[in-house]
Structure 1
Amino acid sequence: MGPDEEHTRPEGVDDLTVEALGDISEALEAIEIARGHLYTFHRLSGTADLTLGKGVEKLREAGHKALADKFERELVGRNVLEGRWTFQIMEEYDDGYYATFKRLEQEGRDALVGGRRHLYEAEMKEDRRTHGRRGHEARPDDN
């Protein structure tokens, strides 16, 4: 048995189209990873600000009021970019670049291959696997 219909190239679709959609899908995967790193930045920045606040309170308790006040005034709760905390960066990224990328990638697949995903990879798998060998099945129900 071979790949399921969802991972089979529609009739009339040429190699270059499949390759182009494969590149766009690969770019989307990179954007997903970048988005994850951006969320990591968001979480770490928030944790740092909360931990900084604890340290500032301990400075104050230890009698270093002027220094604690300076940290609190200049750094605790400060914007990480002009006018923005990290949640605002995330929202702008998600609603702008990320949403546009996802929408256009989907539109391309819908228009050219009936919405099918990972055709390039499915064809690569079919080419590279050892047909008839356990562990090399085309799909889970191919035993």
Structure 2
Amino acid sequence: MEWVERARGHLYDFHQMMGHADGLIGDAVEALHDADHHELAARINTELVGRNAIEGRWSFQIVEEFDAIYWSAVRTAAEDLRNDLVGGRHHVFESEMKERRRTHGARHHEQRPTDVDG
């Protein structure tokens, strides 16, 4: 699941980068207009500003489709497995590793935040 979440994060990065790039291209069109390069500005505006990232889709639609088709299915499967195999607990591997690696009784090695005297 973690690698799917990371891939999803990269899709969000892609989405944000594409939006930023489209804005920069729009700024370039304005700069071309300001420099009296109206034909070039019109061409870039027509060909690039608001253009689909892939056939029929802006980047937000790619993210939405990934979420609907793949991410949600993996998330549901992971939740079902977690419920069936480990009683719904999260980060079982990490919890067990922490217990093995921490120094019992030492400050900043407490098992849980509630174990810290406050």
State if a TM-score over 0.5 links the two structures: yes
TM-score (norm 2): 0.91
SS at match of 2:98: helix
Structure 1, unpaired ranges of 5+:
1-27
- Provide Cα deviations, 1:54-110, integer angstroms capped at 9, x if missing partner: 211221232212211211121111111111100100100111111111110000011
Instruction: Give the secondary-structure state (helix, strand or coil) at the position aligned to 1:32.
Output: helix
The alignment's TM-score, normalised by the length of structure 1, stands at: 0.76
Matching residue within 36, 47, 54 for 1:74: 47
Structure-1 residue corresponding to 2:10: 37
Post-superposition shift, 1:33?
2.1
Q: Which consecutive residues of structure 2, in runs of 5 or more, have no partner in the other structure?
A: none
| Partner residue of 1:102 out of 64, 71, 75 | 75
Identity %: 53
SS in 2 for 1:77: coil
**Runs of 4+ residues over 4 Å off in structure 1:** none
One-letter amino acid matched to 2:39: A
Q: Matched residue pairs, number?
A: 116
Query: What is the match of residue 59 of structure 1?
Result: 32
Partner in structure 2 of residue 49 of structure 1: 22
SS of corresponding position for 2:22? helix
